[in-house]
Homo-oligomer: A and B are copies of this chain.
């Protein structure tokens, strides 16, 4: 299982070394998942929800007055991504970043659109953290989103769009972008929570002293997981900060407060991650002292057993010698006197160890 996980990570590093810049190379997992383009087109009063079968239809929504959200699933279809890119006049480097799933979260400001790359995190069925890249393109009245595969955290957004009376329907594309990013960030909290529970479980194990042998491996794996989450989440703060400064004309002033709210959440998530890191270090400390304490206990048992019986054995050996003349051997009660002496030594040593608090 270790092997498998390692393989995956190695792939992550791979890049299209030596390629012409702007060439689209999909770096994620080759799956047979379908390519799908979802489209929400809405105004305050109206909403139209369609699955676009012809990518060429996407361009129709570009210059309408209504707000449009086009969600693309399946990044391995680079040719189709390229098509959409052309229709929406996206820079070749933007398209390259969309399909390069090892891209670090980032924001790029272009003249008439804003390009944001984030990481969506969730636990898969094996309780392992999966990182999926989502790219956002915010235009004057549209938001494009690109995901590696179907399945996302935008379910509630879809619901809110469908109901006419939500705030989201009355506002512009910049609020839609906010709502989508907020959904991603909200989901971080559940990741954080799971990590927190795992740490607490390990801690309880170590506190109570019933730690399994391989608890240090688990601690290390948890450390790695936190590192992974940290890397996915931390750059996001800078991104939201850039948006929040409100210098891009596509972000209206009244939406800024909402982005500030995301920023606050991110700070909270980040703080938790840093606290978990510190707690993990403490866990390693705990584990080391646990080992030391155990060894100490083993040593004590050995020392007590040896210290008591070695001198007694010596005495026994002494009177097992075959010298012709050992006066004590002749005494009638020599044996019993010796037993008494041995018992005294035994008790004496017990008291000694008791005083040293080894018993």
Evaluate whether A310 and B320 lie within 8 angstroms (CB atoms) in the complex, with A20-B167, A224-B279 already known.
no
Establish whether residues B296 and A296, one from each chain, have CB atoms under 8 Å apart when the complex forms. no
Evaluate whether A204 and B322 lie within 8 angstroms (CB atoms) in the complex, with A291-B296, A314-B309 already known.
no
A 218-239 to B, binary, CB cutoff 8 A, 1 in contact else 0: 0010011001000100000000
Partner of A288, one of B106, B196, B289: B289
Least distance between A115 CB and chain B CB atoms (Å): 11
Closest to A7 in B: B200
A294 within 8 A of B: yes
User: In the assembled complex, which residues on chain B have CB atoms less than 8 Å from the CB atom of A153?
Assistant: 18
User: In the assembled complex, which residues on chain B have CB atoms less than 8 Å from the CB atom of A299?
Assistant: 295, 298-299, 302-303
Least distance between A189 CB and chain B CB atoms (Å): 4
Evaluate whether A305 and B305 lie within 8 angstroms (CB atoms) in the complex, with A189-B17, A293-B291, A320-B321 already known.
no
Evaluate whether A268 and B220 lie within 8 angstroms (CB atoms) in the complex, with A14-B189, A303-B302, A322-B321 already known.
no
Interface of A is mostly: helix
- Complex-state Cα separation, A288 to B306, whole angstroms: 26
Least distance between A99 CB and chain B CB atoms (Å): 14
Partner of A272, one of B13, B257, B309, B358: B13
Residue of A183, A265, A268 with most chain B CB atoms under a 10 A cut-off: A268
User: In the assembled complex, which residues on chain B have CB atoms less than 8 Å from the CB atom of A292?
Assistant: 288, 291-292, 295
Evaluate whether A261 and B298 lie within 8 angstroms (CB atoms) in the complex, with A186-B17, A227-B278, A311-B305 already known.
no
Interface residues of A (CB under 8 A from B): 2-3, 6, 9-10, 13-15, 17-22, 91, 93, 102-104, 106, 108, 153, 155-156, 160, 166-167, 179, 182-183, 186-187, 189-190, 192-193, 196-197, 200, 203-204, 207-208, 213, 216-217, 220, 223-224, 227, 231, 257-258, 260-261, 264-265, 267-268, 271-272, 275, 278-279, 282, 284-289, 291-296, 298-303, 305-307, 309-314, 316-326, 328-335, 338, 358
